[in-house]
Amino acid sequence: MLENPVSRHRPASMVCPTIVCFALLAGCTGPASRADATWFSQGDVRRGQYLTKVFCCQECHTVRESDGIHLDSKMLFAGGNALPSPDGSKVHTANVTLASQYPEQLLESIIRGRLTYKFWMPTDLYNGMAADDMRDVTAFLKTLKPVRRPLPDNYLPPKMVLPAPNPPIAFPEHEPPIETVERGEYLSRMFLCYDCHSPRDSTGGYLHGHAFEGGGLQLPLDDGHLLIAPNLTPDVETGLGDWSDSEIVRAFRTGVARDGRQLNHWMPYVVAFHDMTDQDASDLVRFLRTLRPAKRSWP
């Protein structure tokens, strides 16, 4: 949930969703075995569509309408969002509608960040996505109808050295069971709450021991102010300690804060979380309640 903007500088290495270069990566995987083909064919397309919303894929890879809030329904997943950084780089989100032309194994490797560095895309979190969620996501992406459109050129500063891709890590076959804290923690990562609401160190990594204390997303706005993601820990004064469960869920889905204020639309309640299921919302709140209260406010 995002509060009012203030003037500040954003950490140069902040990570949020971004560029996927399908054409350049198409040759980076071998042919699928029969076992692999069977594994991927089990994906649930309808659930995958839901996950690409709440996992914020659709939000990042779709340009917005002229109001700057709603997504352009004719350009869903067609990319083109500009993502400038203080280091001088400027990249645009990729056209994911082309995903239907590529093997599921390649799509999985891209999402997990195992082929190349992805700039703002939170592949460090998606790398731990459960196998069944990944099957559903890729099954849906394979149904997209390609939208042919030119995207603006990306710009990287001279001599910029890109970080290495993510290494393979162990990931679960399934999400944790419903109505558990463990599932809420998993969803907090896949829904990018962890990414936006966890402060970062000077290298751009998450600040150890301070997850969900706010400040991960610090977004420069056109008026020169900075939008900062606030503290989600149960601290009474600076976090969600005085909020009821229903007030937190309302903020997720509608952007209405406890005091009735409308949260900034960069909290993706309009374009993603308004469709969050009751079970997902309940499990997410269950996890947030277990966090250590941290007294940390942001301007």
CB 12 within 8 A of CB 86: yes
Residue 211: pLDDT over 60:
yes
- Over residues 245-269, the pLDDT tens digits come to 999 999 999 999 999 999 998 899 9
Residue 155: pLDDT over 50:
yes
Rounded to whole angstroms, the Cα distance separating 18 from 209 reads 26
Domain residue spans of the chain: 22-141, 192-288
Rounded to whole angstroms, the Cα distance separating 33 from 3 reads 49
- Over residues 100-133, the pLDDT tens digits come to 999 999 999 999 999 988 888 999 999 999 999 9
pLDDT of residue 86: 65
pLDDT of residue 25: 40
Residue 231's pLDDT band (boundaries 50, 70, 90)? very high
- Over residues 21-69, the pLDDT tens digits come to 443 443 343 333 333 444 445 799 999 999 999 999 999 999 999 998 9
Rounded to whole angstroms, the Cα distance separating 220 from 10 reads 7
Residue 234: pLDDT over 80:
yes
Rounded to whole angstroms, the Cα distance separating 283 from 289 reads 10
Phi, psi of 123 (to 5 degrees): -65, -20
Q: What is the pTM of this model?
A: 0.85
